[in-house]
Chain A
Amino acid sequence: MRHFFIFSYELNHFLKTKTKVVSYLFFILACIYSLFNGFQLHDKQLNTIKNIKEQETESLAKVLNWFENDLSGPEDRSWVDITDPYWAIRYSPTYVIKEPSLLLPLGIGQAEQYGYYQKLSIWSSPLDNDIVEEISNYERLINGNIDFSFLILFLLPLLIIILTYNVRGLESDLKFHDLVSVQVGDYKKWVFYRLLFYAVLLLFSVDCLFLSVAIINNVFSYQFFELIILSNFYILIYFISFYLIIIKSNGSISVAFKMIALWLTFCVLVPGAVHQYINLKYPTNYMTDFLDANRKDTYDVFKLSKEELNEQLIEIYPELLLSKHAKDSVINRTIVRNTMSAIVNQINVNAIEKINQQNFSKNNLITKAYFFNPLSFFQNKWNALTETDYHSYSDYRKYTQSKIDKRLELLVYDCWNSKKLDLKSYNEYLNLLK
């Protein structure tokens, strides 16, 4: 009963303290605004994807029309033979898309830094411009978006400070904290129940906001519940830390100072120091491995003779030895040159592998630092659940590479077997390319 009394007393105190009520309402409004922003980004991405798909359908319909009407290709390009796999694939660029997660409104993460669609051709690579970066205002990126995860991870602790810094501190300032001990007995319990009120208030508010997104997007997935647990755990860690600060300090100013210092240390200083250290160890990669693959090595491939190209293609695809072209005694220059993009792709794959290894080492160090940089753990875990972290985009790039590989495999084998396409086989192509 006494505990309930402390609880209701705190509710009264909260409602009568304008600064606290305003701060709380301000935070809730900011959260609603951040969710609105998240939904906007989600819708924007979906709209862009819809437009892309329409374009893709439109351009493929043109090719289908050529097949249906027995045309060899565009009117002004007599040299194009659409029944040749090379031209059919060349005229059928398709998009690889990363659909935004339904949980994106809850955490934008790194979504604005990466592209989420890529037009694939036989010369594509998963490090092409479209996929590695989206157009954004850089100065806005460094200040961040009003993102729900940002509000919970960075601003909520500050709200907790505003709500709790004078719990016991005020009584200490007014010099009647001893009286409190006389009235309530164990002052630690008294502080605990007072903090519990704010913990319940904030957890309830935050969870309601989570639920609103789940209801709107109809997403009650495992990831969603994991996200709730993660955020609640994070909030509770702050309450526990602040509880310890309050019972170990005297006066609201001392409490406020320590709380702010804790926030600064874990939200600003430690992540900043880790960032600096990691950058010292792994300076920004200028991607020269990929640039070499993309330029010098590619141009070296262009200079190869048909015999050398033939040899390299067989090395990459040994089963080509069974193809019609391989069995011919004469090497067909057109066939090998039309399929040499597969060699360039292999060079790109090797270069990207090196870059991925470097990034892996860097990310490995980041995760090792989670032990003393817990904020980054929460942030990246949160982003992973909303599929907006580095790994989600790295997986998307890997998927893109697999689609490129598939496209080239089709190109190489069918060109080497001198396959001729008709409407039916082209439709089968589309199923494989999409």
Chain B
Amino acid sequence: MNKIIYNEWLGFFRNKLFLFLSLFFLFFLVLVTYLGIIQNIKQDNAQEIAHKHIRAQWDEMEASNPHSAAHYGSYAFKPISVLNSIDEGINSVTGNVLRLEGHRQNDIVFSEVSQSLIISKFGKLKPSLIFQFIIPLILIFLSFNTYTSERQSGRLKLLLIQGSSLRKIVSSKVLSVWFIGLILLFVTILIQFIFNYSFLNSDVFLRLSFLFVSYAFYYLILINLTVLLSVIFKSSTASLSLTILTWVFWTIFYPTIVGNSTEKLNPLPTRVEFKEAMSEDRSKGIDGHNPRGERRDALEKSTLAKYNVEKLEDLPINFSGILMQEDEEYGNMVWDKHFGNLYKQLEKQKKNYQLSGFLNPFTALQSLSMGISGTDLFHHLDFLNKAESYRRVFIKSLNDEYAFGGSKTGERGWKASNEFFRSVEDFEYVSPEFLSIGKKYLYDVITLIFWLIISVVSLFLVTRKIKL
């Protein structure tokens, strides 16, 4: 088996066109990976500058009323992950700026794509584009006639006479092409290690390892199926046509069809519907029986009872702050309901998309690639949830200061000091560790393994039954 693989490689390297293309491709891959890293660093710097700029404005705030400060609010800028340089996933279409303020949970806005004309339908030239579109095609072209050419030239019979089994010959052919894919993958990962050395930690290492394994599995599936078709059809042209058709269907057509179908199964509201539903719940009460006026009266009574006084003016604290926070808590219930439903719908769509991987391994690979790179929907929702949790703590600290910081009810002009505002913690987003979020990709892993088993078993069965 080793000898067949060795001979196969010898054959590849004797072909000058192959050698030239391989070297060119390697250089190209190194360049693309390097540029991806540079772009990541530039984007990261821009995000950091924006973040510091906004925080500086907060820190420089003069003594102000805490409620005004809650309206003044802050901004969260979506950071990019280290592995965004490999696969940017949904980052170009999601917004990047999230306003954090009192009374409302905002949407993230200002996506990259909304700032320009369309440039590329398949995204930037990053390693993922090459891994998902170019390398598979190269592997298909290297493997589609690896069996048929041996058969047509009569070498296959010669090898069989020499004692090799057909299964071994076919497996060796598959492995020899697969190793080429692995080398290209390895080079990219290595470049990531070299240029992103300062950002490396156990999580990034784990993610890169998973990335390597996922693509390696996918390439093996693709090569197995290509060789399988060439064994079945016995004609290079027919097998190539069918493989290319399958590839086009898998990578270009199918994801789009599934994306559309999942959205029809779990439709999303339009922005106007979404906003109206929230505003209705906000004013009428979440169940429609608890209007804001009644809630306010109940809170007033309970606060007066708690402090054992009869009038708001007699309270040792500022009732307005308590009222603001109570309103905030109620608002949070409304946001949880509506944003929660929206996120659930998005997660359902994602799950259906992942399940469609049983019909198309590319779906599983694409989902895993984005997930591992920290640029998929789950990571985006994690950012939004953490930013919202921060907003709640942030606004509560301002309302608490208003209520218990020294002012009394009716003192609308009361101001909190600059020291207080500086003491409010800043939002620092920490991306989830892959292990903590890993179970969300179980479907993708299972479907990829399912396809691997199917392709290996099919090739095994076909090579056993084939008659030369």
Contact = CB atoms under 8 A, between A and B. Distances in A.
Contact of A137 (B42, B237, B259): B259
Interface in B105-144: 106-107, 109-126, 129, 133-134, 137, 141
Interface stretch (A228-236, A286-294, A339-347, A403-411): A286-294
B53 interface: yes
A88 B59 CA distance: 39
Given A146-B260, A154-B252, A286-B96, A130 B271 contact: yes
Contacts of B121: 144, 150, 154, 267, 271, 379
B377 interface: yes
B133 A268 contact: yes
B206 interface: no
A142 B113 CA distance: 10
A166 B237 contact: yes
A315 B313 CA distance: 44
A232 to B, nearest CB: 21
B241 A284 contact: no
A269 B125 contact: yes
A110 B123 CA distance: 14
A271 B122 CA distance: 8
A284 B256 contact: no
B97 A286 contact: yes
B73 A132 contact: no
Contacts of A110: 113-114, 118
Contacts of A113: 93, 111, 113-114
Interface in A255-288: 256-257, 260, 264, 267-269, 271-276, 278-280, 283-288
Interface string B135-175: 00100010001000000000000000000000000000000
A138 interface: yes
B327 interface: no
Contacts of A155: 248, 252-253
Interface in B63-103: 68, 72-73, 75, 77, 89-90, 92-97
A134, A275, A287, A391 interface centre (most CB from chain B within 10 Å): A275
Contacts of A267: 121-122
Nearest to B381: A138
A60 interface: no
Nearest to B242: A19
A334 interface: no
Interface stretch (B346-354, B406-414, B421-429, B442-450): B346-354
A272 B125 contact: yes
A379 B115 contact: no
Nearest to B93: A141
Contacts of A129: 106-107, 109, 271
Nearest to B367: A139
A18 B271 CA distance: 46
B93 A279 contact: no
Interface in A40-92: 44, 48, 51-52
A140 B255 CA distance: 8
A217 interface: no
B145 A253 contact: yes
Contact of B253 (A30, A165, A391): A30
Interface residues of B, number: 86
Contacts of A280: 35, 38-39, 42
A276 B35 contact: yes
B47 interface: yes
Interface residues of A, number: 84
Given A113-B111, A275-B123, A284-B43, A137 B268 contact: yes
Given A283-B43, A295-B73, A136 B268 contact: yes
B35, B124, B137 interface centre (most CB from chain A within 10 Å): B124
B465 to A, nearest CB: 24
B35, B50, B77, B125 interface centre (most CB from chain A within 10 Å): B125
A252 B141 CA distance: 12
Given A30-B253, A137-B349, A139-B353, A37 B89 contact: no
Given A19-B241, A271-B121, A283-B46, A138 B94 contact: yes
A362 B115 contact: yes
Contacts of B244: 161-162, 256, 260
B337 to A, nearest CB: 16
A139 B43 contact: no
A23 interface: yes
A292 B31 CA distance: 37
A389 interface: yes
Contacts of B377: 137-139
B412 to A, nearest CB: 14
B346 to A, nearest CB: 6
A141 B90 contact: yes
A37 to B, nearest CB: 7
B76 to A, nearest CB: 11
Given A142-B123, A145-B256, A264-B137, A379 B107 contact: no
A389 to B, nearest CB: 6
A399 interface: no
A273 B129 CA distance: 10
A271 B114 contact: no
Contact of A376 (B109, B118, B236, B241): B118
The 6 closest A-B pairs by CB, nearest first: A272-B125, A271-B120, A140-B259, A286-B50, A138-B90, A275-B119
21 contacts: A44-B270, A48-B270, A51-B272, A129-B106, A132-B114, A142-B93, A144-B256, A145-B260, A155-B248, A155-B253, A162-B245, A253-B236, A256-B241, A260-B244, A271-B121, A275-B124, A284-B96, A285-B115, A286-B110, A376-B119, A379-B118
Given A140-B259, A146-B256, 9 more contacts: A132-B109, A135-B107, A135-B270, A140-B263, A158-B252, A268-B134, A271-B120, A286-B47, A376-B119
Interface of B: 32, 35-36, 38-39, 42-43, 46-47, 50, 53-54, 57, 68, 72-73, 75, 77, 89-90, 92-97, 106-107, 109-126, 129, 133-134, 137, 141, 145, 236-238, 240-242, 244-245, 248, 252-253, 255-257, 259-260, 262-263, 268-272, 274-275, 342, 346, 349-350, 353, 370, 376-377, 380
